Structure 1
Amino acid sequence: MTVAPALVLDGVLTAEQLEATGRFILAQQEEDGAIPWWRGGKLDPWDHVEAAMALAVLGHDEAALAAYAWSARTQAVDGSWPMEQCRGVVTEAASDTNQCAYIATGVWHHHLVTGSTEAVHRFWPTVERAIDFVVRQQRPGGEVAWAVDVARRPDDFALRTGSSSVLHSMVCALEIADVVGVRRPDWEDAAERLRTALVRRPEAFADRSRYSMDWYYPVLGGALRGEAARAELAARWDDFVWPGHGVRCVDDNPWVTAAESSELVMALDAVGESASAATLLAEIQHMRDDSTGGYWTGYVVADDATWPEEQTSWTAAAVVLAVDAVTRTTGGSGIFRDHVLTEEECEADDAAS
C-alpha cells in the first residue's frame, strides 16, 4: 500500500472521516477484485473504475490494482464489458461505450497517483482493446454511439454526457500510449472529431437537457474550457444548483445527489472556480453517514428525506475524487483539470496535416 498524503478537507472532513470512507469502499470490494455498487449487488464497469480510483487516492493502490486486474480478466474479445452484472452473472449484455472507455481514465489516474508505470504497462492491452472498441462506434459526425446491443449493433444516437466522458478517456489513453511508446494517430483523429462534435454540433446528441450531467459533462470531460466553459456552467446554474443542498439530478425534481454534486465540484475546479467548488463540496456533507463512512445516493429536499435508501461505492468514490481535486492532495488530483484536448492542440494538428 502506498503511503499516501492524508486527504483532508479543512473544516469539513477530517483525515479519519476520509479514511472511514476508504474502508467503506473496500468493504464493497469482492474477493476477485470486482467493486459492485454494494457487496453482492450489481456492477457496471464505469462505477467499478470510479471506486478503484478513489481507493488509489486513499492509499489502497493494491486494491485498486486488483480492480483493474478484474477488468482485464473479464474484458470481452471485442474490448467491451456488459453494462451490468452481478457476481459474474451478466444481467444486461449490451455495452455502454462510455463505461468501456473509462478503464483508460482509471489506469492513467493510477499512474498519476502512485508515480509508478506498473499499471500503465500491465493494463495497456486492456486499454487498447477498450478504446479500439469505442472508436469503432464513432459516427460520421464525430459523436460516439452511446451503446451497442447484444448483437453488437451500435445504437443510432449519441449522448452528450457519455461522449464527453469518452473524450476524456481517449485523452487519457493517448497519455498511456505515449508512456508505452506507441503512436495511435487514429485515436488522435477520433478525439479531435469527437471534441468538434461536442463543441460545434450540439444537434448531434439526443436531448437529455433536463439532466444535470448533460449540462456540466462537456466541462468535466474537457471539451469546453476557459470562458466558454464558465459561460456554459453559468447558463443553467440556477436550474440545477440548490444552495445549501447540492445539485439536482434533473431540473424538474427536488432531488439532489451526492455524485452529480461531486462531479460538478470537479468541473468547477477544472475551470478555476475554486471557491464555488469548495462551497458546494461542503454543502453536500449532509448526505454523509458517519456511522459507515459512506454517502447516501440522494436527498429529496422537499420531503426532507433520504432517497433512495442506499449507499453506493461509486457515490463515496465521487466525493473522494472531488476532495482530492479541490485540495490537490495527490498526483491524480488534476485528472479532470489537466488531461484534456485543447482547441489549440486541435488547431496545431490541423495545421500540421
Structure 2
Amino acid sequence: MRRVFITGTAGFIGFHLSQLLLEEGFLVQGYDALTDYYDVGLKKARHAILARSNAFQAEIALLEDMERLRSAYRAFQPDIVVHLAGQAGVRYSLENPRSYIDANIVGTFNLLECVRESGAQHLLLASTSSVYGGNTDMPFRETQRADAPLTIYAATKKAGEAMAHSYASLWNIPTTAFRFFTVYGPWGRPDMALFKFTEAIIAGRTIDVYNHGELYRDFTYVTDLVKAIRLLIDVPPVKGQPHLTEDSLSPAAPFRVVNIGNSSMVRLLDMVEALEEALGRKAIRNYLPMQPGDVPATLADTALLHTLTGFRPDTDYREGVRLFVEWYRSQPSQGN
C-alpha cells in the first residue's frame, strides 16, 4: 500500500486528489493550515469527508512551521509527495503579496528540506499557467520560456519550480511540476469566478465581467485534473533518459514540467451564458476593463501529458458548469 503525503488536503484540488487516491487504496497523510483566506467551514467540510476513510489522517499546521512539518513527514515516511498547498489567487496577490512569499516560497522550501532529509520516490508540485505571463505564442508549451511573470503569485510559483529543480539536481529527487489551467468544479473555492458568479446570479446581484467579457481561458474540470496528477505519479522523471517529443525533461536533473489543461480556449462570456443556462436565470452584468496582472488568453498544449500518461482532459465546459451548479444547489447553505 503506497503512502502519499499531500499538502493542501482541505483545499479544492487536494480534496479531490485525496478522494481519488483513497478510492485506489493509497494511505494519505494530509497537511493543511486551514487558513482563513476563504471560508474555513468549507475546508473543514472537505476534511470531514476524507476522514470517513481510515486510510486518511491530517496534520493541521502551517507549511512555514518547519518543526511541525518535519515531524509529520518523518512520522509518515511517504513514498510519494504531492505539494498542492500555498497561497492561491492572482488578484489577492495584489492586496497581500507577503502571504505568497511566506506560503509559496518559505513553505515550499521547508517541504523540499523534508524530502531531502527523509527521501521520497517522487515529488510532484503544483504550479500554474500564470508563469507563462504575457506570452502570446499559444498554445503554451512546457518548453517555452516562462521568465516574465506578471504577478507576485506567478513569480512565487515560478520560484517554486526553480527551487524544486535545484533540489532535484543536487539530491537526485525525481520531481514533476505541473502547471494548472483555470481549474473549476464542485467544492471549488468561493473566490473563483464560477463560484462568485453563481452566488451572485442566484441572489440577483451584479457580476463583474472583466475586459468586457473578452477574456479566453482553458477551463479544466477538476476530476480531469486530479486524474492527470494520479497518472503522473507513476511516471517519475529519470535524469538522462531519452527525451520525448517536446519534452521538458531537464538535462541536469530528474525534473520535468507538465501542463494540465483542457486544450480548448473558452470565452468568458460563453462561460457566463453556460452558467445562465444551467441556473435558468440571467446574470446582471457589469462590464469592466482588464485588471492589472491579468492576461487576455490561456491555452495549454497537453501533448506531453498525453505522451506520458495516455490521457488528455476533455470535459466540455457546458457539462462542467452543469455539474458545478448541481453540486452548488445540493449544499444546505446555498440558495436555489
- TM-score computed with the length of structure 1 as normaliser: 0.26
* More helix by percentage: 1
* More strand by percentage: 2
- TM-score computed with the length of structure 2 as normaliser: 0.27
